[in-house]
Every structure is written in C-alpha cells, then in structure tokens.
Chain A
Amino acid sequence: MGRQYEIPIGAQHISLLEPLHFKFTTENEKIVKTDANVYYVHRGIEQACCSKFKFRQVSFVVGRVCGLCSISHTTAYSQVAEKLLKIEIPLRAKYLRMLVIELDRIHSHLLCLSHVAENSGFEALFMKTMQYREFSMELLEAVCGNRIQYDFSIVGGVARDLKPQVAQSIMERLKKFVPQLDELMDIYKNNWTLSLKNKGAGAITKEDAMRLNVVGPFARAAGLAVDVRNETEDLLPWKEVGFEMVTETTGDVYARNIVRLRELYVSIRIIENIINGLPESALITETKAFPDGEATVRLEAPRGELFYYAKGNKTQVLERLKIKAPTFSNVAAMTEAFTGNEYGSAPAIIASYDPCLSCTAR
C-alpha cells in the first residue's frame, strides 16, 4: 500500500465555477475517498420568503436562488402557490412556461458542456460552445426582457406574452442552431483528445445511481430513466409537446455530455412544437384568495428534479417554504463517482456533474 495524501479542491479554485470544496484522499494519484462541503453560499432565502416577503413577491425572490435555472425556480414556486390558492392557470401560460424552461435548458446545458471542455483542457471547444450558446441568451432576452433573471412566471400565470415576431425569430435561430449542434455533437462524440479525459472518467453504475438517488442528466447518463417531465402531466403537459426520454448506459463524463447534447435536440423539438401549436387564451388567472394548506411540486430543472414544498396559513406571508435543489440530491453520488479516478481528471468530472451550489445552499 502506498502513502495516502489529502488534496483539496476549492472552495476557490481556478477550474471551479462554484464555491464547492472537495477533499480527496489519494494514493498514487488515484482517488480513494472524497469528502464534500457544499454550504459556502447560504443566504437564508427560505427564511426570507417566510418572513419578509408576501407570497406574490416570493416568486421573484426564488428566481434569485439560481442564475442558470431561474425560470425553473420561479415556475416551481408559482405552481406550488397556485396549488395553495386552488386555481388553474390558462393553457397559454402553461405553454409559455414550458417554452422558457426549454430555452433555459439549452443555455444551461451548453454552459455545462463548455465547462467540461474547458476543464478537460480543450479551451477552443469551450469558446466554440459559448459562441453557439449566445443565441439562446438573446432569445431569452427577447422573450423575457432580460438575459438572466427572467421573472417570467408569476403566481397565476406568466408576466409577458410571446410576440409573433419573437416567435418567428426563435424558429429562425433554432434552424440555424441545428447544424451547429450537429457539429458540437460530432466533436464531443468523436474527438480523440477529449475522449482521453472523458471516456471512463467519473463513471457510476446504474445500481449505484439508483441507490444514491441520483437525478437529472447525471442519472440518465447511467441508464436510469428518471425525468419529472415523463412522470407528471397535471401541471405542464410535457408529453403533449413531444417530450422524449434520453438515456445512455456508461455513466461516465462522456455519457453525460452525450445525454446533454441529445436533450438539446429534444428541447429544440419541444420549442418548435410549442410555437406551432400555441393556444390562444388569457395569460393570467386573477384571484384574491390567500394561500392555505400544504402543497408540493416537482419540476425538471436543467440539472434534475427540483422540489418545492409550501405551507400557507391564510395570510399574505407563507408559513414555510422548502426548496430541494437537484444538486443536493446528487452530492452523495458525486463523492462516490470520484473513487478510482486519477486526480488530474477531477476538474472535468466536477464540471460534468453540473453542480449548482447557489441552488443547493440557497
């Protein structure tokens, strides 16, 4: 047995996007044990939502939980508040919510892919992916009026309508994006240099994924078919707009890349279907009721299942709001999947988890 060394990564590290701390116990460059500390950015948002803000304002507060999946948080909160108010939102609002969630998924997945490329040492591919990602940011800006904080879902519906010329530009830009996505798919799939860092790294088996309750593309890369879009139909009609499950089998960094890229094709199809069949109706259901009772909501964010629980007591301020972010579910599997890998491939593996610590610590 060789000597064991403890090497930390984080909380500030050149290859980390987020304030995340991993402590690796290594033996001859091989990782044998990992400890994770994820609570560096606790902001007390849950407490603020239950004390300082009224329930209609909370949908803007939870949008600030995460910059990348802002729309998933606001939509999940709006849905849970609508359950407490016992109202049904108009069909057009549902479709517009799905549209923005899918546009958001495109930009989030491309960001993750670009960082995997960067952390694997492929700087040019990082630039290329970021270049192709820009169109989705501009489309989100055109739809929601802002690049990052969309504030699109509000309690009872959506804040803005989709203009016909914006819908047309979305279709045009998506048509342009498909060949670019083919090109990215080709590089991520067939590039030999990238495969050295990605194939076989950070692998997790299907049994382990199931045991450790993995969600999102992380789970789907291991062959575990979990996707909230496949399971719930009551709040957003995902299957109606052509959702399709994407799974791979190997469970390594390469498989996660491919799952994300293939999900982009599904997202593009969903967006096209939504725009082609956008129903005409009002945008918002007005109500003067106060939230009462308890409710839970699950929603598929770009990183996996997002869970919201809320409890109201017939006043303006909620009694309890609980947010369980997808990265929190994945932390156990994250530490597990490092075992047996080289220390040098750790940054690429971390990036491939797509960790979102501001979601996790809130």
Chain B
Amino acid sequence: MKTFLKTIGNVFKKPVTTKYPFEKTFIPDDYRGLIGFDENLCIWCRRCEMVCPPGAIVFSQDMEGKQTYHFNRAVCIYCGECVRACPKEGAIFQTAEPAPCALKAENINNGWNKLYTDALASRELYAAEKKRKAAEKAAADKMAAAKKEEENKTGIDPDIIAG
C-alpha cells in the first residue's frame, strides 16, 4: 500500500532523466577525452605508439626522415597510457572533450587499417633507404681511405726504392 501511494506521488514529481541532446549531461572536469598532440614539442621518440594498447597512434615517415603523427579517435580507448609514457611533457596530452562520432565518409576502419600498414611500410622504406645510403657512404669512405693509403704508399715507395 505504501509503495502504491508513493507511485501515485511520483506522477507529480519532476523526471530524474535529462533530455540529453537539448540539455548537457554530467561530464567531470578531468574526463578522459580526446588525445591532443603538439608537433612543436614532440621529440619523435615514438614511445606513445609503442605503449598504445589498441594501436590508435602511428607515425609515418617520408623519405627525408620527417615524421607525421596519425591518431584514430575510433580505435583509441582513452586510457591515457601515451600521456604517461611521453618523456616530453605537453607533447601529447588528454583533453576533457568527448570524441565525436565517426562518419561513414571518414572511412575510419578500412582507411585506418590502410594508413597504419602504409605508415609502417613508409618507415621501413626510409630505414632501408637510410641503410642503403649509410652502406653507400661507408663504401665510399672505405674507397677514399683505400685510395689515400694507396697514394701514401705510392708517395713513400720511391724513397724506399731509392733507399
């Protein structure tokens, strides 16, 4: 009976729910929202990419060695592990802004998968190029050193012969 009376009383009370799209819901100040990135502060150590559990961060690299940061808000779990791993404070940070929904036009799944593999491939390509250049340089250095030695030898030789 008591419950019944309370139920009738509820008719005259205000609803406890909020009309969400028209009213703002409760979001705390330090909500785990979107991950921000400051290119000017980054030291390009790629530690955030290494620790990221779902793999939402990836760095691509062009042939000059310049790295570009990519972030997928639909893959990110907003754990903040990248922020904790970052050695340079402020280079990667967490905002309190909730992530917007992904749109079909963004092609956030397949597009991201392609971008991810492409980014890794671009880095490998750069590494291979660097290795090739280094090998070339080493070979050239070696050649130059050998030539110098030869010259030195030939430079000394007449004296020995004369001696």
Contacts and interface: CB of A to CB of B under 8 A. Distances in A.
Interface of A: 53, 56-57, 60-61, 124, 131, 134, 138, 141-142, 144-146, 149, 151, 154, 159-160, 163, 166, 187, 191
A61 B80 CA distance: 14
A224 B77 CA distance: 39
Contact of A124 (B7, B28, B54, B84): B7
The 5 closest A-B CB pairs, nearest first, are A145-B32, A57-B53, A151-B79, A60-B53, A142-B28
Nearest to B83: A159
Interface string B6-32: 010000000010000000001110111
A273 to B, nearest CB: 24
A320 B30 CA distance: 35
Contacts of B32: 144-146, 151
Contacts of A163: 30
Contacts, number: 50
A53 B53 contact: yes
Interface string B39-76: 00000000000011110000000000000000000000
A160 B81 CA distance: 11
Given A53-B53, A191-B3, A60 B81 contact: yes
Interface of B: 3, 7, 16, 26-28, 30-32, 51-54, 77-81, 84
Nearest to A163: B30
A173 to B, nearest CB: 12
Main SS class of interface, B? loop
Nearest to B1: A192
Contact of A60 (B3, B7, B31, B79): B79
A149 B26 CA distance: 17
A124 B2 CA distance: 13
Contacts of B52: 57
A61 B53 contact: yes
A187 B3 contact: yes
Nearest to A151: B79
A61 B52 CA distance: 11
A104 to B, nearest CB: 17
Contacts of B31: 141, 145-146
A149 B7 CA distance: 34
A191 B52 CA distance: 51
A159 B77 CA distance: 14
A98 to B, nearest CB: 21
Most buried by A among B26, B53, B78: B53
Nearest to B30: A145
A249 B31 CA distance: 43
A191 B30 CA distance: 42
A159 B79 CA distance: 9
24 contacts: A56-B51, A56-B81, A57-B52, A57-B53, A60-B53, A60-B81, A61-B53, A131-B16, A134-B16, A141-B26, A141-B28, A145-B32, A145-B80, A146-B31, A146-B32, A146-B78, A151-B79, A154-B84, A159-B79, A159-B80, A159-B84, A160-B30, A160-B80, A191-B3
